[in-house]
Amino acid sequence: MRKIGLIGMGNVGATIAYTLVTKGLADELVMIDKNEKKVVAEQLDLQDSLGRLDSNTTIKIQDYSELKDADILIITAGKVAAMGSGADGRMGELSFNKMVVADMAPQIKASGFNGIIISIMNPCDCMTQYLQEQLDYPRNKIFGTGTFLDTARMQKVVGQSFGVSANNVSGYALGEHGASQFTAWSTVQVNGVPIRTLQHSHNVDLDKFEEAIRLGGVMVFEGKGYTNFAVATCAVKLAMAVFSDAKLACPVSAYSDAYKVYIGQPAIIGKNGIESLTQIALTADEEQKMKASADIILEKVETLRH
């Protein structure tokens, strides 16, 4: 039986719940939020859909004790109204989500939950680090969506420019899920061909690509006041990789021994969460960007610790 806990029933949480139920990806779903009226409404709405689905999901709400035997816990709690504008807007949720973790962590501990945690709280890397510390949880069993989403945005931008499917673009966006994230262009390939090989023949401006990737989420946020579909899709894909022990190779926010902080980097995702980290060769410039991004995350984490 596949059982998932979901804390935070805002736009992202509701989208994840809808996806899990309508695709029949969870046998049991436990939804928790401070706004009980909203959670009850989401439960009723999803239950109303069951008579038209080919699968069934038992949907429970507002009970941390139900997390005890859950396989995966996805945390999307936050306050979108606290977000600022621009690429660094996620940092606006830092102080609010510190209070959320202070309230939530003891209840997760008390539930006896010992499965895999996927965090989408903003700012993603900082909050994943802080949550891991407050739960005193094994680092491999908790990770954030991180630059998995930024990498998808890179695949879209590059794919559209070359007229190919985003699935035919490989490579990584790394670092902070925020203003200091960057695309490691040395890793990017289009239909198996390194993008730097194609750069001049196709008159490609990688700096313009980088800006479009970084601002992708900003445009969505400014257009509708939040982002939900893409990051929810990322979370569900990661959850399915855990369930199926897929050994999925992708970038997530995982703990780095080198930088002593959670940061977007390539990893292998399976039934144990982070099965391993993938060591890839970066250019000197990319290594410098990674270090600078880690320093920014660490600085914010320190503010959470005090």
Q: Is 13 annotated as a binding residue?
A: yes
Q: Are strands 248-256 and 193-194 parallel, antiparallel or unpaired?
A: unpaired
176/160 same-domain check: yes
Give me the tens of pLDDT residue by residue for the chain, a chain 306 residues long: 999 999 999 999 999 999 999 999 999 999 999 999 999 999 999 999 999 999 999 999 999 999 999 999 999 998 866 555 444 555 578 988 999 999 999 999 999 999 999 999 999 999 999 999 999 999 999 999 999 999 999 999 999 999 999 999 999 999 999 999 999 999 999 999 999 999 888 889 999 999 999 888 889 999 999 999 999 999 999 999 999 999 999 999 999 999 999 999 999 999 999 999 999 999 999 999 999 999 999 999 999 998
**Furthest-apart CA pair in the chain: how many Å?**
59
pTM of the model: 0.95
- Last residue within a domain, chosen from 109, 125, 144: 144
CA dist 53 and 33 (Å) reads 25
DSSP conformation class of 76: -
CA dist 183 and 121 (Å) reads 22
Q: Is 120 annotated as a binding residue?
A: yes
Closest of 294, 93, 289 to residue 210, by C-alpha: 289
Residue 296, amino acid: I
The answer to whether the peptide bond before residue 266 is cis (omega within 30 degrees of 0) is no
Q: Is 88 annotated as a binding residue?
A: no
Residue 225, CA atoms < 13 Å, CB-side half-sphere: 6
- Last residue within a domain, chosen from 144, 164, 186: 144
Q: Is 290 annotated as a binding residue?
A: no
Q: In terms of residue numbers, what domain contains 153?
A: 147-305
- Put the strands of the sheet holding 261-270 in their side by side order: 58-61, 28-32, 3-7, 72-75, 116-119, 142-144, 248-256, 261-270, 273-277
Q: Which residues of 47-70 are buried (b: 16+ CB within 10 A; e: fewer)?
A: eeeeeeeeeebebebeebebbebb
Inter-residue contact 28 to 4 (CB < 8 Å):
yes
188/218 same-domain check: yes
- Count of domains in the chain? 2
Q: Is 263 annotated as a binding residue?
A: no
Q: Are strands 261-270 and 248-256 parallel, antiparallel or unpaired?
A: antiparallel
Q: Is 154 annotated as a binding residue?
A: no
Report the catalytic residues: 177
Q: What is the pLDDT of residue 87?
A: 47
261/300 same-domain check: yes
188 to each of 144, 151, 176, 279, 287, how far by Cα in Å?
22, 10, 18, 15, 16
136/159 same-domain check: no
Query: In CATH, what number is assigned to the domain containing residue 159?
Result: 3.90.110.10
200/223 same-domain check: yes
CA 51 from centre of chain: 31
DSSP conformation class of 121: P
Q: Is 101 annotated as a binding residue?
A: no
Question: How many other C-beta atoms are found inside a 10 Å radius of the C-beta of residue 218?
Answer: 16
80/187 same-domain check: no
